């Protein structure tokens, strides 16, 4: 099987040694000789159409026609006619009979990309084709037969679409007879340098120039980037650098000047159970927003600590010896003060008084109170809900840019559509 996979990779220009990629290829090779319906799952740009061509080329239908159709690119009013054909006069503009793809590709393979965008009525017609091979042209009454293998692909969670009533449950189970999960580029980071070298060599031949190379730090930058566009985006980056880079050895500094977006923070986001990136569903952008809020809160806390030390310093006070302070309640977080000069402040600030019992200093409402005031204070743990954190971040961004949603969305690192939805959700 290993030798067979290597020959398939060479034949179709697939580069990589990831075990996830190999597992997807093995499944495609095993299912190819059958007529089972296949559902290819993966983010945009991972190469789902390449897998459909592999399945077709290794099947008994390899000498028949193969056609790839993007369901999201066909208007809802004409998709039935495109797939199943129509009769003359069935609608305005139908000046003659027309055969649909399921009729013209009889005996071959149809690849339906972005199957989640297919309208519900078309889904019903497709289900009938999958179950019985029968279909009816638009405006006709005669039932026609076809023998077509269907390979579908999606970059969203179809089960979630089923729960929302936007995709037929029976069609989902009929399509996913054999699911194939194509890994994203961030799931196979070790393949990124190899893929980049392959693309750089191809573009060097195309533009008749010396191939570019990455130094170690530049490779690390590419491996740490999130790659929302996956292989397609990496290929685009390789082409831009091949043309724009003056030096053939690309350094991290050159990447920063040419493509600063590659240095965007790669936040650790937990993957969903179905393996999808949430970029397309909006969840990833919402998590990005929450992480940004949390980092802002961390910065605010650091500012507060700095202000506290400045107050102590300006009032000629000293930090107390923690060993002399009374035991705090277990629910109250303890703070370890640094021993030494790590804030460019005199080390004496952090040093306790010699053998003296020091009354804890509490700074409250611009005055200093002693232990008695501290004893009377109520410590209450009331964590802020994540929805409130998100709402507050959106309010701040909108206020900062005076209601201009485009700039606010860029500040929050989310799309305008997600921002608009959040504004309606929180009634801002």
What percent of the chain has pLDDT above 70?
76
pLDDT score for 35: 95
Percentages (nearest 5) of helix, strand, coil residues in the chain: 50, 10, 40
2-183 and 189-263 have identical folds: no
Of residues 208 and 329, more confidence is placed in 208
Sheet with 38-41: list strands edge to edge.
66-70, 109-113, 149-154, 38-41, 178-181
Instruction: Look at 67-81, 249-263, 336-350 and tell me which has the smallest mean pLDDT.
Output: 336-350
pLDDT score for 7: 93
For the residues 259-287, what does the mean pLDDT come to? 56
- pLDDT above 90: residue 23: yes
> What rounded mean pLDDT belongs to the chain?
81
- pLDDT above 70: residue 411: yes
CA 127/CA 105 separation, integer angstroms: 17
- Scored b (16 or more CB within 10 A) or e, 391-410 reads bebbeebbeeeeeebeebbe
pLDDT score for 87: 95
Instruction: Report the predicted TM-score, pTM, of the whole model to 2 decimal places.
Output: 0.62
Q: Please, what is the Cα angle at 44 between 41 and 49, to 5 degrees?
A: 65
Of residues 288 and 315, more confidence is placed in 315
Judge whether 127 and 174 are in contact, CB under 8 Å.
yes
Judge whether 371 and 328 are in contact, CB under 8 Å.
no
What percent of the chain has pLDDT above 90?
58
Cα–chain-centroid distance for residue 340? 43
pLDDT score for 370: 43
- pLDDT above 70: residue 252: yes
Tens-place pLDDT, residues 117-176:
999 999 999 999 999 999 999 999 999 999 999 999 999 999 999 999 999 999 999 999
- pLDDT above 90: residue 406: no
CATH architecture of 189-263: Orthogonal Bundle (1.10)
pLDDT score for 373: 40
Tens-place pLDDT, residues 367-387:
444 444 444 434 444 445 667
CA 87/CA 105 separation, integer angstroms: 18
Instruction: Look at 149-153, 311-315, 325-329, 395-399 and tell me which has the smallest mean pLDDT.
Output: 325-329
Judge whether 419 and 412 are in contact, CB under 8 Å.
yes
pLDDT score for 149: 97
- pLDDT above 90: residue 58: yes
Please give the CATH number for the structural domain made up of 2-183: 3.40.50.300
- pLDDT above 50: residue 343: no
Q: For residue 42, with 0-12 CB atoms within 10 Å meaning exposed, 13-18 middle and 19 or more buried, which class applies?
A: buried
| Residue whose pair of structure tokens reads 């724009």 in the numeric block | 244
Residue 373 has which token pair?
């005031």
| Confidence label for 321 from pLDDT (cuts 50, 70 and 90) | low
pLDDT score for 289: 64
CA nearest neighbour of 368 among 315, 332, 291, 293: 315
pLDDT score for 292: 65
Domain residue ranges in the chain: 2-183, 189-263, 282-308+383-428, 317-326+337-373
């Amino acid at each position: 099987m290993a030798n067979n996979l290597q020959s398939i990779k060479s034949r179709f220009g697939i580069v990589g040694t990831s075990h996830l990629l190999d597992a997807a290829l093995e499944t495609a090779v095993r299912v190819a000789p059958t007529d089972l319906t296949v559902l290819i799952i993966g983010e945009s740009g991972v190469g789902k159409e390449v897998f459909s061509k592999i399945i077709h080329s290794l099947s008994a239908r390899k000498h028949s026609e193969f056609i790839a159709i993007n369901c999201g690119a066909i208007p809802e009013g004409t998709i039935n006619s495109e797939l199943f054909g129509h009769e003359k006069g069935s609608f305005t503009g139908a000046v003659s009979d027309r055969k649909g793809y399921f009729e013209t590709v009889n005996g071959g393979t149809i690849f339906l990309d972005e199957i989640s965008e297919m309208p519900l009525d078309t889904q019903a017609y497709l289900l009938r084709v999958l179950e019985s091979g029968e279909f009816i042209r638009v405006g006709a009454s005669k039932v026609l037969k076809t023998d077509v293998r269907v390979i579908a692909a999606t970059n969203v969670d179809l089960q979630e679409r089923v729960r929302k009533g936007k995709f037929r449950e029976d069609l989902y189970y009929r399509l996913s007879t054999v699911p194939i999960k194509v890994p994203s580029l961030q799931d196979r980071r070790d393949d990124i340098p190899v893929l980049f070298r392959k693309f750089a060599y191809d573009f060097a031949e195309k533009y008749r120039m010396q191939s570019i190379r990455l130094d170690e730090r530049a490779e690390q930058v590419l491996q740490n980037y999130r790659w929302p566009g996956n292989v397609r985006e990496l290929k685009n980056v390789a082409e831009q650098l091949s043309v724009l880079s003056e030096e053939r050895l690309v350094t991290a500094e050159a990447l920063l000047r040419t493509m600063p977006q590659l240095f965007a923070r790669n936040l650790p986001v937990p993957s969903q159970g179905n393996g999808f990136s949430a970029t397309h569903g909006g969840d990833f952008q919402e998590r990005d927003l929450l992480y940004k809020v949390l980092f802002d809160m961390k910065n605010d806390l650091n500012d507060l600590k700095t202000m506290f030390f400045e107050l102590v310093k300006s009032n000629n006070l000293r930090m107390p010896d923690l060993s002399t302070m009374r035991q705090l309640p277990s629910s109250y977080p303890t703070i370890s003060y640094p021993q030494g000069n790590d804030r460019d402040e005199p080390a004496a600030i952090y040093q306790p008084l010699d053998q003296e019992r020091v009354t804890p200093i509490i700074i409250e409402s611009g005055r200093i109170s002693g232990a008695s005031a501290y004893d009377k204070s109520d410590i209450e743990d009331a964590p802020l809900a994540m929805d409130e954190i998100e709402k507050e971040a959106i309010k701040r961004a909108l206020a900062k840019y005076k209601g201009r949603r485009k700039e606010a969305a860029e500040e929050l690192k989310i799309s305008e559509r997600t921002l608009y939805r959040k504004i309606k959700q929180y009634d801002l």
